[in-house]
Amino acid sequence: MKYTVITGASSGIGYETALEFAARGKNLIIVARRLDKLEGLKSAIQNINPDLDVIIRTSDLSITDQAYILYNSLKEYQIETWINNAGLGQSSSVTDQNLDKVETMLRVNIESLTILSTLFVRDYSNVEGTQLINVSSALGYIIALGDITYSASKYFVSAFTEGLAKELEQKGAKMKVKILAPAMTETEFGKHASDMKEFDYKANVPMYHTAKQMASFMMELYDSDKVVGVVDENYEFKLRDQIYPILGV
């Protein structure tokens, strides 16, 4: 039995992506902090296909040790695809930003993603058919004032993942490494990043995608031989080769 792991699966892009993989008959390991949300997702998946095996793991990836604990807890399963979707946002100027919130964001967006990516690559890079997909952001390729620290964290995700993709390619590894880079997407992300109880996308954002649309873009990337799936300035989804220049290639 092979499994697809999705972190940040309790809502938004992660939730909808889990349903997309379920529709393809993929067994799933769904990861997030909120057990009740994961149990609801498991029920939704089993409504799609009751024969699928769905494993729930609760994990708070803002605690670095939890990344190691999560990965080690999955050693008994054969993993085909790992999607690092968990991420946090932070919208404010640098002078006004809450450093406690920034530290938490950096641990999720950078530290835990790097740890989980590294552990998965070590174990599976030479296994045929495996994929690692890291969720970055359109702001991992362009800086937005008011979101500088968040943008910088996603620049790390994009640079790390593009570099890893090239490194494995040069080694002749069988694993494919890819990046999904959404722009504004209708999820819980907006309210958490802005510290608001609710965030009205229609009232505040001129253009955005739904989480379901982004999940469909995720599947386009999964099916492709491209490294980057990015939403451009016109809110069109494009599959691309690596964007960052890489020395020595």
Report H helices in 79-112. 99-106
Q: According to the model, what pLDDT value does residue 101 have?
A: 95
Neighbours of 132 (CB within 10 A): 25
Strand partners, 176: 131
Which amino acid is located at 233 in the chain? E
Q: What is the pLDDT of residue 189?
A: 60
- Residue 15: pLDDT band (50, 70, 90) is very high
Residue 190: pLDDT band (50, 70, 90) is: low
Neighbours of 93 (CB within 10 A): 11
Question: 157-160: long-range contacts (C-beta < 8 A, 24 or more apart)?
Answer: 157/109, 157/110, 157/113, 158/228, 158/243, 158/244, 159/244, 160/113, 160/114, 160/117, 160/134
Sheet containing 2-7: give its strands across: 54-58, 27-32, 2-7, 78-84, 131-135, 176-181, 228-231, 237-240
What is the rounded average pLDDT for all residues in the chain?
A: 93
CB 89 within 8 A of CB 15: no
Closest CA to 179 of 125, 104, 235, 113: 113
**Residue spans per domain, the chain:** 2-240
Does the structure show a pLDDT above 60 at 191?
A: no
CATH entry 3.40.50.720 includes domain 2-240: yes
**Euclidean distance between CA atoms 9 and 180, whole angstroms:** 15
User: Distance (Å, rounded) from C-alpha 85 to C-alpha 78?
Assistant: 19
Alpha carbons within 13 angstroms on the beta-carbon side of residue 114 total 14
pLDDT tens digit string along 209-233? Answer: 899 999 999 999 999 999 999 999 8
User: Rg of the chain's alpha carbons, rounded to an integer?
Assistant: 17
